[in-house]
Amino acid sequence: MVKALAIDIGTSSVRTAIVDTFGAVSHVHQRRFTISAPSPGEIELDAVEIAEFTLELARQTLYEGGGCDVVGITNQRATTIVFDPLTGRPVGPALGWQDLRTVIDCLVLQGDGLRLAPNQSATKARWLVAQSGRAPSELRFATIETWIAWHLTRGMTHITDRSNAAITGLVLASVDAWDERILEVLDLDLAMMPRIVDTMGSFGAAVALEGSPQITALVGDQPASLFGQSCITSGAKITFGTGAMLDMVRGTVGPVEMTRFTSGCFPVILRSQDEVATWGIEGIVLSAGACIDWLRDDLGLITDVAETNALAASVDSSDGVEFVPAHSGLGTPYWDFGARSGFFGITRGSTKAHLVRAVLEGIAQRGADLVDAAELETGTRLSELRIDGGMSDNDFFVARLADFTGLRVTVSPEREATTRGAGLMALVSAGALDFDDVERMWSPTKVFEPTLSAPQRQESRDHWFASVQRAARTIPELSDVQF
């Protein structure tokens, strides 16, 4: 049996596993890495630590799993590293994708005709180069998959795949070359930039690992999750973690510009092979599981996130209480950075159970917002929504998601579908599987059908839209900011 080593570098941890040609995930190792927040809005990571943890866990997985044939890497996108190619050392911290220190830079650049967002890599790279005091041509730019491939091949490859390059803010709309005009405006140099490659191919031997297996897949985390949930030629998934991300397959025709659509969704490359890209769209909820953590860690309403399922189900309704999850503003489709979370309809009779139920229902409503935006953008009505992530374990939440979307919702057998997706993509690239094999692998652990009638669903959505309007523009000056 052909086996892949899947390397999954998420927002807060490194995960490694063996993925086989049946889609089984085994010999999993995971370790959290250090995340620093030196100032509000600043998120820094230690790139050296991430590389060291990755190699350590990969070797443990391979030792226990009896080796592997190929390697697939998936990663948090847009996290940015600038390093010295001679020493292999970063010139500063890795700036996490959530890092907002370049917000003002992005606003200033709009005057130069550049529409960049602070969660893209572009202005992060400029900040790191400027702080280093070095000439850009002496340095190298990397996102996480670039950095890990560099270490696995001991400096023999400096590459980025198209799914990651697509969201840096530094590429042409074709995502096959860097935009030299943008590089010039940002005082960056083409010599810094990695070679753009397909997500699937042969990218060099991982000589840092026993047996020197070939790296055959590099892919961003959300496209990997979609692939891991067997959405190959069609379909959509939402990953419910700290935030929530919807990704939906669109086709082989790309956008004219790599900018946000009027629907509030973004164009993304899901995978590419032999220079043919499969495109999709992506929608974002900025606060999802983070709201459950808030109930536990800050409000003290629960002691464990698992309590929310039974608490919410213990009451017949939220008794008129609604909650809008907008700790960091509202993403797709509203894009209101000045919106803030709020409970509405609280009375003296409102209990802890009502509040918890309202939070789960509010997150489910935001999931329905993503589906509505994706269907509007593509003109396609979904018949099924696949989900993974921590909140996929909560039956009450998933049932309400089915009600508010009006869709069958199916739960991934692998909660971290990104890991499975990276391994499966590496196996397909190596010829051990084909796309049809992956599509046939979908076997959800649970299936939830909607229970609301169409009029009941519309009534719930109308109440929701009214609550969103109450939460909108809480901080008007932030609401006026658009990226």
At 427-468, the pLDDT tens digits run: 999 999 999 999 999 999 999 999 999 999 999 999 999 999
What integer pLDDT is reported at residue 188 of this predicted model? 98
Q: Can you state the percent helix, strand and coil of the chain, rounding each to 5?
A: 35, 25, 40
Q: What is the pLDDT of residues 289-303, one digit of tens each?
A: 999 999 999 999 999
Query: Is the C-alpha dihedral spanning 109, 115, 119, 125 positive or negative?
Result: negative
Report the distance separating Cα 155 and Cα 370, nearest Å. 40
Cα 461 to Cα 166, 301, 362, distances in angstroms: 33, 27, 11
Cα 303 to Cα 151, 157, 240, 318, 360, distances in angstroms: 41, 47, 20, 20, 16
Q: What is the pLDDT of residues 51-69, one digit of tens each?
A: 999 999 999 999 999 999 9
List b or e across 303-318, with b for residues whose CB sees 16 or more CB atoms inside 10 angstroms. eebebbbebbeeeeeb
Give the pLDDT mean for 30-40: 93
Report the distance separating Cα 88 and Cα 248, nearest Å. 37
Mean pLDDT of the chain: 96
What integer pLDDT is reported at residue 245 of this predicted model? 97
Q: What is the pLDDT of residues 357-378, one digit of tens each?
A: 999 999 999 999 999 999 999 9
Query: Is the C-alpha dihedral spanning 27, 418, 276, 119 positive or negative?
Result: negative
What integer pLDDT is reported at residue 300 of this predicted model? 96
Give the pLDDT mean for 180-199: 97
Of 173, 167, 123, 164, the residue nearest 145 (C-alpha): 164
What integer pLDDT is reported at residue 413 of this predicted model? 95
Q: What is the pLDDT of residues 106-165, one digit of tens each?
A: 999 998 889 999 999 999 999 999 999 999 999 999 999 999 999 999 999 999 999 999
Q: Phi and psi at residue 6, in whole multiples of 5°?
A: -100, 125
Q: What is the pLDDT of residues 265-316, one digit of tens each?
A: 999 999 999 999 999 999 999 999 999 999 999 999 999 999 999 999 999 9
Percent of the chain with pLDDT over 70: 100
What integer pLDDT is reported at residue 41 of this predicted model? 87
What integer pLDDT is reported at residue 40 of this predicted model? 87
Check: CB of residue 67 under 8 Å from CB of residue 211.
yes
Q: 133: Cβ–Cβ under 8 A, 6 or more apart, which residues?
A: none
The encoded tokens of residue 466 equal: 């009214």
Do β-strands 70-75 and 214-220 pair in parallel, antiparallel, or remain unpaired? parallel
Give the pLDDT mean for 401-418: 97
Spacing of C-alpha 337 from chain mean position: 19
Check: CB of residue 159 under 8 Å from CB of residue 149.
yes
**Domains contained in the chain, CATH given:** 3-221 (3.30.420.40), 230-411+452-483 (3.30.420.40)
